[in-house]
Amino acid sequence: MIPAEGAIVRHSITVGASQETAFATFTSGHDRWWPREFHIGGAQIEEAVLEQREGGRWYERDVDGSECEWGKVLVWEPPSRLVLAWQITGEWAYDGDLLTEVEVRFVPEGPDRTRVELEHRLLDAYGDATDQMREVFDSGWPGILTGFAAAAETDPA
């Protein structure tokens, strides 16, 4: 069996915001920070949406009105923990049969300081492309988290 560690990407960032604000910005404020260039639909993103409940959808609505699924909310534990299903293939298309998980933990370090830890796991679901996708996510998440941190501090939900 391949060790699970090989199929995991971890990153964290510390934001100047309370745990509640960080969680709210990540979820209800999703559209305020999700990078506009990260979309899978053919058109530009009008809105990036993360529905605030277990079983909720995670998707993009494009300027042409179409919607593209990204995954769903697996665990909803405000304001400390969130697990999302990322169900986008290596060809950047939604596949309901593909399951990778993104767990996000919000760890308070002070009244206005929160460490946000992100773990993208089950990447061996990509089969032969596992190593390649791990590199993609390993290089992609830090920039996304930087954008999130900027929003949590300048444009909080």
Partner 1 sequence: MNAYHQAGLEALGDPTRREIFERLSKRPLAVGELARELPISRPAVSQHLKVLKDAGLVFDRPVGTRRVYQVDPQAVEALREYFEVFWGQALNSFRRSAEAPDDHEPEENR
**79 touching partner 1, by CB under 8 A:** no
Q: Which residues does 106 contact at the CB level (< 8 Å), separation at least 6?
A: 19, 22, 23, 26, 79, 80, 81, 82, 114, 115, 116
142 contributes a contact to partner 1 by CB under 8 A: no
Instruction: Say how many residues touch partner 1, by CB under 8 A.
Output: 15
Q: Does 31 bind partner 1 (CB under 8 A)?
A: yes
Residue from 51, 117, 138, 153 that binds partner 1 (CB under 8 A)? 153
36 binds partner 1 (CB under 8 A): yes
CB of residue 45 to partner 1, shortest distance in Å:
8
56 binds partner 1 (CB under 8 A): no
Q: How far is the CB of 153 from partner 1 (least distance, A)?
A: 6
d(CA 147, CA 145): 5
Enumerate long-range contacts of 134-140, CB under 8 Å, 24 or more apart: 134/6, 134/7, 134/8, 134/9, 136/90, 137/9, 138/9, 138/11, 140/38
**Do 83 and 101 touch, CB atoms closer than 8 A?**
yes
User: Contact region for partner 1 (CB under 8 A) — 54-62, 80-88, 90-98, 143-151?
Assistant: 143-151
CB of 10 to partner 1, least distance (A): 23
* Footprint on this chain of partner 1 (rule: CB under 8 A): 31-36, 146-147, 149-151, 153-156
